[in-house]
Amino acid sequence: MQDLAVNLGIDVLFKGTNFIRLLGGLWTALWISLVSVAISIPLGIGMGVLMTKKNRILKAVLRVYLEFIRIMPQLVLLFIMFFGTTRAFGWDLSGEAASIIVFVLWGTAEMGDLVRGALISIPKHQYESSEALGLTNTQTYLYVIIPQTIRRLIPLSINLITRMIKTTSLILMIGVVEVLKVAQQIIEANRMTSPNGAFGVYLTVFLLYFIACWPISMLAKYLEKKWS
Amino acid sequence: MKKLNFKKLIALGLTAAAAVASFTACGTNATSGGSDGNTGSKVYRTLDEIKASGKINIGVFSDKNPFGYVDENGEYQGYDIYFANRLGKDLGVEINYVSTEAANRVEYLETGKVDIILANFTVTDERAEKVDFALPYMNVALGVVSPDSNVIKSLDNWKAEDKMIVISGTTAELYLTKNYPDIKLQKYDSYATAKSAIENGNGVAWANDNTEVLAFAKQNPGYTVGIDSLGSQDTIAPAVSKGNETLLNWINDEIKTLGKENFFHADYDATLASTYGADYKETLVVEGGEVKKS
């Protein structure tokens, strides 16, 4: 057993507080993505509703915002938010704050587009029937449209959450020590004594991401089945 | 996206950040009339401001053993850290270590997000335009390692059929191509493949940064570093934001004072000796900021 651990290079994880540090790194990645998700969802719903409005200027502005966020690699957005805002406005954002802002901007855009898609997929007769029943505009949304939209939305938005968790691996570039950075630190600190460390540590990181994302993915699958 | 080189992506990111910044900076200058231009452009903290805050931000590597890394208890360690700890102690402030990457060290100083960079930072003319380097505390050069059976001590009488192992894109490759065009190079993409190549005898010697070949010879019995400092002698030095004179002068004075107690020799003994052995102390260490010409 000991030999196997050495061959796989997992032994380095049992030195000192290494494994606890790795879990700490995972927690950093998770809380940053979960806070971002919690803020993005209500903002994204708002944006999605606005995107279905007939106002042309509003539509154009939101479209430009969505495309900008989509085209820009997240790493570039992170650099702009972390270093760029200091140069331009003298803001001294922490790495964590810059990450959350970027992830919220990204999450809101993506979520907005998902909500827009879900809303326009509701057939027109649903609105017309509600009107025929004498429901007000608010009642139509509250009792007819939104429940159906949410049903279509949940699996898609859960995918967004797992994508966000995985993208946190980029925030090490702006000085946030998350799970991947801790892994690199452990591998390098033991470069001489455990040359196999890279394999074992990255394997562990893979498992940690998997353990974090898999239940979320399964939930999406379950809900998709239940509501389809 | 996958095909896009990571380094290029970083460069793109930093350029975009700078572009956005300069664009908006122009805007604000125009509206404010530039009256507070001086205070507005000062990104760094002076020595007194750092002392008053009781905390200094030092950018270091957290994954470059043995220069700057994090040990199994989560503590920063290494040659750079040993020095950084002393700076903090003598300034009488707490140290906040910031984990930096090779590609963003300059940016951290240009935005004042750290006060000092102590991350194995090689002094180059290009970097000196953007940041201010203090006195050096370490040498770097190229080294050549070869098997004990045929130790290469000079490149002057190179046999035409012999091959030199190098890793593509390194300083060693550039230097040899330029200065010794007659030496045949056997190029490899990674440290690991170059290592197995020298072990298999695919070349008579391996040229790389001297710290790398010294560490290799130390770990692998049967190999000797015949040439331990080849090419242009570069130095490693602390850097501060451009124009931060109070901090720069303080660091320079500190390095000179520390030279009197042979501080960097003690630093070498504590952090580098286990990797490089005691023999190369004089090759690598720069004491009191004075580089000895060899």
**Could you read off the pLDDT of A7-51 as tens digits, one per residue?**
777 888 888 899 999 999 999 999 999 999 999 999 998 999 899
Any idea which of A189-198, B230-239, B267-276 has the lowest mean pLDDT?
A189-198
- Decide if B9 touches A, using CB distance below 8 A: yes
**Per-residue pLDDT at A153:** 86
Q: Say which CATH class B43-137+237-284 falls into.
A: alpha beta
Residues of A in contact with B77 (CB under 8 A): 189
CA distance B71 to chain A (A): 6
Q: Per-residue DSSP letters for B187-232?
A: EESSHHHHHHHHHHTSSSEEEEEHHHHHHHHHHSTTEEEEEEEEEE
**Per-residue pLDDT at B15:** 64
Model confidence at B2, pLDDT cuts 50, 70, 90, reads very low
**Per-residue pLDDT at B293:** 62
**Per-residue pLDDT at B265:** 95
- What CATH number matches the domain at B140-233, 3.40.190.10, 3.40.50.1820, 3.30.300.30, 3.40.50.300? 3.40.190.10
Model confidence at A192, pLDDT cuts 50, 70, 90, reads confident
**Could you read off the pLDDT of A46-70 as tens digits, one per residue?**
999 899 888 999 999 999 999 999 9
Model confidence at B14, pLDDT cuts 50, 70, 90, reads low
Q: In chain A, where does DSSP find H-type helix?
A: 2-8, 18-51, 56-71, 74-79, 85-89, 95-120, 124-132, 137-139, 146-167, 179-189, 197-227
**Per-residue pLDDT at B33:** 34
- Count of CB pairs separated by less than 8 Å, A with B: 118
**Per-residue pLDDT at B34:** 33
- Closest-CA residue of B relative to A191 is B65
Partner residue facing A79 (CB), from B13, B22, B100: B13
Any idea which of A5-14, B25-34, B110-119, B281-290 has the lowest mean pLDDT?
B25-34
Domain assignments of chain B as residue spans, ordered by start: 43-137+237-284, 140-233
Model confidence at A198, pLDDT cuts 50, 70, 90, reads confident
**Could you read off the pLDDT of A78-120 as tens digits, one per residue?**
999 999 999 888 888 999 999 999 999 999 999 999 999 998 8
Q: Does B39 have pLDDT greater than 50?
A: no
**Per-residue pLDDT at B106:** 92
- Contact by Cβ (8 Å): A48, A153: no
Top pLDDT among A45 and B37 is at A45
Domain B43-137+237-284 and domain B140-233 have a common topology: yes
**Could you read off the pLDDT of B151-178 as tens digits, one per residue?**
999 898 888 889 999 988 778 888 899 8
Domains in chain A and their CATH numbers?
2-227 (1.10.3720.10)
Residue A189 structure tokens? 């600190």
Residues of B in contact with A174 (CB under 8 A): 104
Top pLDDT among B99 and B42 is at B99
Q: Does A219 have pLDDT greater than 60?
A: yes
Q: Does B56 have pLDDT greater than 90?
A: yes
B205: number of CA atoms within 13 Å, CB side? 28
**Per-residue pLDDT at A228:** 63
**Could you read off the pLDDT of A130-187 as tens digits, one per residue?**
999 999 989 998 899 888 888 888 888 888 899 999 999 999 999 999 999 999 899 8
- Contact by Cβ (8 Å): B259, B246: no
d(CA B37, CA B28): 10
Q: Do B25 and A174 touch (CB under 8 A)?
A: no
Phi, psi of B244 (to 5 degrees): -85, 75
Q: Do B13 and A80 touch (CB under 8 A)?
A: yes
**Could you read off the pLDDT of B72-90 as tens digits, one per residue?**
889 999 999 999 999 999 9
- Closest-CA residue of B relative to A17 is B73
Q: How far is CA B26 from CA B19, B33, B37, B75, B112, in A?
A: 11, 10, 11, 43, 20
**Per-residue pLDDT at B6:** 56
**Per-residue pLDDT at A225:** 81
Q: Do B113 and A83 touch (CB under 8 A)?
A: yes
